[in-house]
Amino acid sequence: MNITKRTQLLKLAAISSLLFCASASADWRLLNNASHLNFVSTKNVNVSEIHHFSRLDGSLSSAGELSVDIDLSSVQTGIDIRNTRMREKLFMVDNFPKATLKATLPEEITKFTSGQSGTFIIPSKLTIMGQQHELEIEVQVTKTDHNRFVATSAKPILISAGDYGLQSGIDWLQNVAKLSSISPTVPVTFNLTFIALM
């Protein structure tokens, strides 16, 4: 092996080592434009619709501390007047602009190598309108490359309106829309992408 090739190999090894060390000790930031949080509402017993929130913010520390903020004013239902009613009467965003999920991930996740994946049950705390409750979330986590994680719900998360002070808002929406019912239990799914901060 000539000196030029040896020098090139040494440089590649050094770069690879730096990338590995950087990702192993990095903090990660949620990429909003590569992430999705959806929920399903059911009205009149058997009419279900898929909605989502368009603005998410979050971080994951090298110690596994996860925090995700959901901008409740970014709710998107496909109907403008319904978006407005949900912001003002259901979530009351003037007083409670965001929901927050916090969790501590197993240490092995932050030590994943590129291409490694696993499914975990993560004890979490969700806060909506000042009400906090514990959840167990089953999530599949994949490290897609040296500086990117993707976390996807393995099962829907069932959120009960009564646990978070949302029932009176649901009752109001039901009355104003002249519906026979709105289900108080909402399935939620997500696909979240985090990228390392170098």
Place of tokens 């368009």: 54
Instruction: For residue 11, tell me if it sits in a domain.
Output: no
**24: pLDDT strictly greater than 60:** no
Specify the pLDDT at position 146. Answer: 86
Please say whether the dihedral angle defined by the alpha carbons of residues 170, 174, 177 and 179, taken in this order, is positive or negative: positive
40 or 18: which leads in pLDDT = 40
Domain CATH for 100: 2.40.128.110
- The residue-averaged pLDDT of 31-36 equals 98
| pLDDT tens, residue by residue, 77-125 | 999 999 999 999 999 999 999 999 999 999 899 889 999 999 999 999 9
Let me know if residue 190 belongs to a domain.
yes
The answer to whether the CB of 189 falls within 8 A of the CB of 157 is: yes
pLDDT in tens, 126-162: 999 999 999 999 999 999 998 999 999 999 999 999 9
Residue 21 in domain: no
Check pLDDT > 70 for residue 11: no
Examine residue 1 and state whether it is found in any structural domain, yes or no. no
Domain count across the chain: 1
Rounded mean pLDDT of 45-59?
A: 97
1 band by pLDDT with thresholds 50, 70 and 90: low
Task: Give the length of the chain.
Answer: 198
| Per-residue pLDDT, 119 | 97
Check: CB of residue 73 under 8 Å from CB of residue 93. Answer: yes
Q: Specify if 145 maps to a domain.
A: yes
More confident residue, 94 or 13: 94
Q: In 10 A of CB 4, how many CB atoms?
A: 8
Residue 167 within any structural domain of the chain: yes
Q: Is residue 87 part of a domain?
A: yes
User: Do 138 and 149 meet the contact criterion of CB atoms below 8 Å apart?
Assistant: no
- Asked if 34 and 184 count as a contact pair (C-beta separation under 8 A), the reply is no
- Predicted local distance difference test score (pLDDT) of residue 8: 54
Contact 96, 119 (CB under 8 A): no
Domain span at 105:
26-197
Listed in sequence order, the residues at least 6 apart from 33 whose beta carbon sits closer than 8 Å to its beta carbon are: none
Instruction: Give residue 64's region: left, alpha or beta (phi > 0; psi -120 to 50).
Output: left
Task: Specify the range with the lowest mean pLDDT, choosing from 112-116, 154-158, 185-189, 194-198.
Answer: 194-198
On whether residue 134 sits in a domain, the answer given is yes
Q: What is the pLDDT of residue 61?
A: 92
